[in-house]
Amino acid sequence: MPESAKPVVSALVVSRNAKDDLLQSLKAFFASADVPVEAIVVDNGSSDGSPAAVTDEFPQATVLVQSKNLGYGRAANVGLERCQGRFVLLLSPYVQLDPQCVGRLADLLLTRLDAGAAGPKLLLPGGRLDPDARRAFPIPSTLLYQTVGLSKLFPRSPRFGRHNMGHMPESDVHEMDAGTAACLMLRRSALMFGEDLDLCYRLKLGGWKIFYVPGAGATNRVKPASPERRRQMSYERHRAMWTYHFKHHSEDVSAFGNGLVWAQIWGRYVAERVRDTVKSNKGSAT
């Protein structure tokens, strides 16, 4: 395609000390794109040479180097100002896109004028569907079902499995409440970044729909073997749930209800920390 072609899709990648994964992710992005694209990389104060490596291997990419770690939301807003595409693909440096993923997500947004965002079938390294790839907004009942384990016992139940939409076939295109910022394509005209749940909720308030697109595939190459990485992911996931609930629903439930939600979110976070500690100790013992 001509270099002067205006991009249809801008990949927005926020990265910190993930050089090798970042390079692989960008390679897959440019290789899979069948529409004009650009890549905006916001480097959050990396010390592993990421900015220079991206510039050397992908001179067409724009690299915005930050002197310190701004956090995801602030860094994403810095990158958004440089995005020129009609659509913005939020892309984690740990995600590798399948061929045609970019084009299929863009196709849905082009043909569904009521769609504000679309996410792919995002798989974890073992082949399991990433549970954050299609979600309902967290409410006290769904948090309770997860805390007591009913969501795992009845994953396909419209009531108990609602949070991860287990009642909807993962092979079908369907509407959802929220995807994940690890890989989610959005209309640039509707954007201002925050946590992914909060972002999706604000799109819904604006009248936009959000779709899960299984024909567009990607793999999230997270690092589950690292206890530090698991703790960080757990913290970010629970912080997003906390931010969403207390920003949008704190006035809709009683003080007791808010306390219950807080206890559920905090209890799940502590339980995950304890589980990781036990696993780490067992690994050290062997």
Question: What pLDDT, in 10s, does the model give residues 55-92?
Answer: 999 999 999 999 999 988 889 989 998 999 999 999 99
The CATH number of residue 20's host domain is: 3.90.550.10
| pLDDT score at 2 | 43
Q: Torsion angle of alpha carbons 227, 229, 233, 238, nearest 10°? A: 40
CA dihedral sign of residues 241, 244, 249, 250: positive
**Continuous segment of H or E residues that includes residue 90:** strand 87-91
Provide the number of structural domains found in the chain. 3
In this prediction, residue 239 carries a pLDDT of: 53
Examine the domain organization and report whether 80 and 144 are in the same domain.
no
By DSSP bridging, strand 209-220 and strand 115-123 are parallel
User: Whole-number mean pLDDT of the chain?
Assistant: 80
What is the pLDDT at residue 270?
Answer: 55
Q: Higher pLDDT residue, 279 or 84? A: 84
What are the b/e assignments for 160-190, b being 16+ CB within 10 Å? bbbbbbbebeeeebeebbbbbbbbbbbbeee
33 pLDDT exceeds 60?
yes
Sequential DSSP letters for 111-163: H-TTEEEEEEEEEPTTSPBPGGGSBPPP-HHHHHHHHHTHHHHSTT-TTTTTT
Angle between helices 19-32 and 101-111 (to 10 degrees): 60
Least trusted range by pLDDT, from 56-65, 141-150, 198-207, 252-261 = 252-261
What does each C-alpha distance from 64 to 27, 60, 94 come to in angstroms? 18, 13, 19
Which residues does 240 contact at the CB level (< 8 Å), separation at least 6?
A: 195, 196, 197, 198
Residues 141 and 263 in one domain: no
Three-state SS at 79: helix
pLDDT for residue 254: 47
Same domain, 120 and 246: no
Same structural domain, 14 and 146: no
Question: Mean of the pLDDT values across residues 267-276?
Answer: 57
Q: Using alpha carbons only, what angle is made at residue 34 by residues 31 and 39, rounded to the nearest 5 degrees?
A: 60
pLDDT of 241 higher than 70: no
Question: Across residues 153-168, what is the average pLDDT?
Answer: 83
Could you say which of 164, 181, 203 is where a domain stops? 164
Per-residue pLDDT, 236: 54
Whether residue 4 lies inside any domain: the answer is no
**Domain-embedded: residue 88:** yes
Nearest alpha-carbon partner for 3 in 38, 43, 31: 38
How much is the average pLDDT of 138-167?
A: 81
Compute the residue count for the chain. 286
Tell me, yes or no, whether 245 and 146 share the same domain.
no
Are 185 and 71 within one domain?
yes
Cα–Cα dist 66/89, whole Å? 20
Query: pLDDT of 172-185, one tens digit each?
Result: 999 998 899 999 99
- pLDDT for residue 163: 78
On the question of pLDDT at 247 being above 70, the answer is no
CA distance 84 to 78: 13
Instruction: Band the pLDDT of 32: cuts 50, 70, 90.
Output: confident
Q: In this prediction, what percent of the chain has a pLDDT beyond 70?
A: 73
Q: Could you tell me the pLDDT band of residue 255, with boundaries at 50, 70 and 90? A: very low
The DSSP bridge partners found for residue 118 are: 185, 211
Once rounded to an integer, what is the mean pLDDT over residues 245-267? 50
Q: Residue 1: its pLDDT value, please? A: 41
Residue 267 confidence class, pLDDT cut points 50, 70, 90: low
Of the candidate ranges 54-58, 140-144, 216-220, the one whose mean pLDDT is the lowest: 140-144
Closest CA to 100 of 37, 172, 13: 37
- Kindly compute the dihedral angle of the four CA atoms of residues 27, 18, 53, 103, in this order, to the nearest 10 degrees: 20
Average pLDDT over residues 33-42: 93
Query: What is the rounded distance in angstroms from the CA atom of residue 186 to the CA atom of residue 206?
Result: 13
Measuring CA to CA, which residue among 136, 46, 39 is closest to residue 97?
Answer: 39
Highest mean pLDDT among 60-64, 139-143, 224-228: 60-64
For range 218-232, the mean pLDDT: 63
The DSSP call for residue 178 is B
In this predicted structure, the answer to whether residue 261 has a pLDDT above a threshold of 70 is: no
Is 3 inside a domain boundary?
A: no
pLDDT of amino acid 137: 81
**Residue 95: domain span:** 9-134+170-220
Give SS3 for 26: helix
